[in-house]
Structure 1
Amino acid sequence: MSLRFRKPNEPEICDHEHSLLALAKLQKRRWRLAFDVIRFTRALASLSKIALDSNKQILRSLSYVAIDIGRALPHDDAGVNFLDIDQKILTTMVKQKNFESLSNLGGVKQVAAILGTDEKNGVPGNEAQLLHRTNVFGKNCYKKPDAKSFLSFVYEALKDTTIIILLVCAILSLAFGIKEDGLKEGWYDGSSIIFAVFLIVIVSAVSNFKQNRQFEKLSDESGDIKVEVVRDGRRQAASIFEVVVGDTVCLKIGDQILTDGLFLNGYSLKVDESSMTGESDHVEINGRENPFLLSGTKVTDGYGSMLFTSVGMKTAWGEMMSSISRDLDEQTPLQVRLKKMTSYIGKIGLTVAVMVLLVMLICYFTGNTTDERGDREFNCDKSDEERMAKIDKISVMARSSPFDKLLMVQCLKQKGHVVAVTGDGTNDAPALKEADIGLSMGIQGTEVAKESSDIIILDDNFSSMVTVLRWGRCDYNNIQKFIQFQLTVNVVALVINFIAAVSSGDVPLTAVQLLWVNLIMDTLGALALATEQPTNQLMTKPPVGRSAPLITKVMWRNLVAQALYQVIVLLILQFNGRSIFSVDEKIKNTLIFNTFVFCQIFNEFNARILEEKNIFKGLHKNKLFIGIVGTTLILQVLMVEFLNNFANTKRLNLEQWGVCVCIAAMSWLIGWLVKWIPVSAK
């Protein structure tokens, strides 16, 4: 039911309509009786909540229950029943900016009276009243996409092309193995591959699931904005999730309007409605012509106060948000380069694998077998050339407009720089959004600035910027360490198997062994190298440009030296291992596999520090690294000594274990020697 107030020029009821008036009064009494019943029911619900929240019991006798509804709804607000309000009328009126509908309701002040809001004192601030408003008009929160379940991440991991290929190969291996060797012995290889794939999928899914949960938690925290509302005649901070219809809030430049509402008072208030209407012109808000304020818009000038008329999904912003979903797939420059490099490595690996397969098939059938474009265009070429020539020399740019800041960021990005921008005002928003990394202040920063930034410094301490920079450089350096380490593993494995397949038609490292190496090196190795803490030395290095190579000359020097040493040693074992150690073929292959794994374990220490010669510096501070290396050693012993059928290995004696460890330990000496070779750090 909705209430339409009489217009000032509307004639009163005539005397001859007394009978109709009496009937109307009778109907009104009936409606009042119905309202009392509804009000009592709501009061009972509110009182029960208060009792439950305070852990107090309601005293009762055997024959009746005594309830004091005055505690649930105070007498000073007993007349606010909200039965005369149609929420749809309020929502449509503000959304469509229907001034006629507002006039029919009696104007802004009359709407405030209907909502039980005092223009100066706001609404009553007791918990029961606020809960009553929430129950009637809803809560100020928006529907978010359902959180992805763990199984959805498992499914995404299974869709990976490499995983699908491995599963197909595992099924084929299982089928051919059972056909050739029978069920008792033939299931080992295929089942081992399936188990290894299962581990890879589970580890990947767990990691992505945890990251997603952390992101959701951070998103909820960053969305909990504090606003200044007036309740019981006092200004007080409240969470945006706790505001209710009828609240009044103070607005100033830079504030984001978070609900639909009406203008109460203020001076020269203007808002940017481009996020809702697409129009770039700022709209003036006043009580005479346009008192309507839409959620999702931003205050660009003036100040004022507004009355909340709709919250949550009933607002214009809520309706729009319900029809769209967030795009979280935007990638940073580093992610783009890593994805590109990973694609290249995958293509090279696939090519080598296909070549090995072809060689082995030939050997098998012939019987020869043994065991954005980012450039910006300006109107004036001359000014463009001068600007680009001077941009790197600018240290201070005073009294600059938002366009000047935006132009500077665009020019720096054109020249290949990775640009970071800090700001706290609304005029900083364009530059913050355009920059590769935007940083805003959490306390003094406006909502517009925070919305446009990538990182929010919660304590407003400028020294925290240094912390952000240290950790950013540390993450980049750790990624480089892992790339060097992982490329060494892949290069050695590909070269060894390719040369062995071409020369003898057989490969020393089986599919299960390679999967095992990739599992422990990709997962545990990445975790070990990614947990290195930032050092002061990182701050002495110049920043890395957008076009700078991800793999530096220093990394190539270290990588080539280690890969060359491992390939030479493993090829010697491949072609002369049986005669050197007087062992059979399976022991020889186990020696190759074990030496290969231990070479990676020792090389993990080399990868900790790319340039310095002391690879043990700060090792005692990284307990996780030590723990991961220890875990890897234990798992490798289990693979060689106890999981022979699974890993296609054979037990080694103490002397053979010593040989594997000694050969692998030489990588420390190789790493120390090559660091004496001077190369450019670029």
Structure 2
Amino acid sequence: MLIDDLLPGDVVHLAVGDQVPADGLFISGYSVLVNESSLTGESEPVVINEDNPFLLSGTKVLDGSCKMLVTAVGMRTQWGKLMAAITESGDDETPLQVKLNKVANIIGNIGLCFALLTFVVLSQGLVAQKYLDGLLLSWSGDDVLEILQHFSVAVTIIVVAVPEGLPLAVTLSLAFAMKKMMKDKALVRQLAACETMGSATIICSDKTGTLTTNRMSVVKACVCGNTIEVNSPRAPSIFSSELPEAALEILLESIFNNTAGEVVISQDGRRQILGTPTEVALLDFALLMGGGFKEKRQETKVVKVEPFNSTKKRMSIILELPGGGYRAHCKGASEVVLAACDKFIDARGSIVALNNTTTNKLNGIIETFSKEALRTLCLAYREMDDGFSIDEPIPLRGYTCIGIVGIKDPVRPGVRQSVATCRSAGIEVRMITGDNINTAKAIARECGILTEDGIAIEGAEFREKNHKELIELIPKMQVLARSSPLDKHTLVKHLRTTFNEVVAVTGDGTNDAPALREADIGLAMGIAGTEVAKESADVVILDDNFSTIVTVAKWGRSVYVNIQKFVQFQLTVNVVALLVNFSSACFTGDAPLTAVQLLWVNMIMDTLGALALATEPPDDNLMKKAPVGRRGKFITKVMWRNILGQSIFQFAVMWYLQTQGKYLFGLEGSDADTVLNTIIFNTFVFCQVNQPLRNPHIWFGIL
């Protein structure tokens, strides 16, 4: 039967390598392991049985076989809903675009009003004189030219009022930031994303591959009763010098033989470890201790294997030794394997019987490892009796404990500091992961995300909340574990719409694509990210590092501040030009700044001012301020103070020159007005140049 022909109620047989064709329920089977990374982003296989019977479309069967009852097909499946969410529109205007549109509308309306008033004031004298002379319908060529001159001044005021250099300033600032961010390992796919990140108030971060390295490794090991930090620089020397040689040899023999993984050499000569994340971590640990994979495998011969399954929770093998005889090795869940041991290897390398004190000590180590979010495995071996036959089942008792290892996906270096930087900048970081709740909470605490008053919740519980409960829960929620793709999408949507937050989302898998599109800015991982995630994102983090996201936020804030500086500079020019021409038209009936002069000022100040102000680099002080968010005002009170203060000062200078200039400079004759207007124009220009004295960077754009 074809997948397209499946209907709810059908029964499907699944085996190793099959892709689950629809959503369904486990009916019967054995040792079923499913890779759900396409939906959850977590690479660790999931055991499917009667206790966890849910099979999801798009996942793959790694081990075992089973029968599945189909419950949903097509767009009703989790995969179908995921694809539908990806196609939803995510092209809303950025927060800066919304604010700039409002500013542009206000400036345009003010400019239009001033232009109309100026035209009316300049023309009313001529019209009134015509009316008094009874020549209202008799117009000469000179009269028409005068009206056209007044009209040109009015049009020029509109042109000057609207800051045409604003789009140039925005584009220059975004392009400059994009180029610089590329050097900081951030590839910008959408130009507007440069500034959006600067307004972000919340970052919803994935765990695997973003906060962590996405590579399972042995972090701690207890061998011969001694606990060793594997990540310590002294770890290799401790293994080679302080561990008894016999214990080290039996440990390497256990890891290299009792495994489904392989160590191979690629075509370019690099060593690669193949297998599940757990197997890769153990083999990498053995190689760190100085072991040789091929050499150890050649010393003995594997004659019997019992693979890992969810019932036994352990993997066992039988080795045929070079001198004859057999040896069994076992690894698996610590509590299961340790319960099968009656001996252990002590610090001197001797095999001694397990007593209650030693057993309690080992159980305490297992509990300590678990509290640190480590997945623990116990390794053990047993010498087989002379009469043992490989046809007999591998025994379940009488083992000698070799050691206990703690495995985890370690947190990336610098993540805790980056999270602290975000918090000091007013950006709240939340972790959304498909991992279990205990591991998620431990990693979140290690990163500094989960605080004492924060809430960690699982996706199943999150989905059951109604709208009112979500409004109460979301502000306190810091960790969402065991989440589905639609849980992440729902959370981001509520944050944006209900709470009006500017949300940034990180992700690397296909499962993250809906949230990446829904967010104000999507940040995909460049190394571990899938093509679907990258296509849905606005920025690609090339080094998969959370610290790079902080750099993106810093550049985003720099873009926002640079555009504010340009608007402040440009509006001062425009306000002064409007006030000078309008007031002069009202009181003298003439405009001292002609259309050509205003256009010249507009061209020079717009272009060179934009070039200078839009390319200022960020500084660390930007990350010590609260984010602007969606509610923040683009033109702040400080900007209004600077604009009005500078405008009043310049207008006072212009007005003084216009009223007292002839007496001040001793101007007389027919060309006195022309000379005075020239002086006023030059003074106006130098007043604009005087603005940047508090910011010398602008001089390079003007000179």
Normalising TM by the smaller chain, what interval? 0.3 to 0.5
TM-score normalised by L of structure 2: 0.40
Higher strand share: 2
Structure having greater relative contact order (Cα 8 Å, sep ≥ 6): 2
Higher helix share: 1
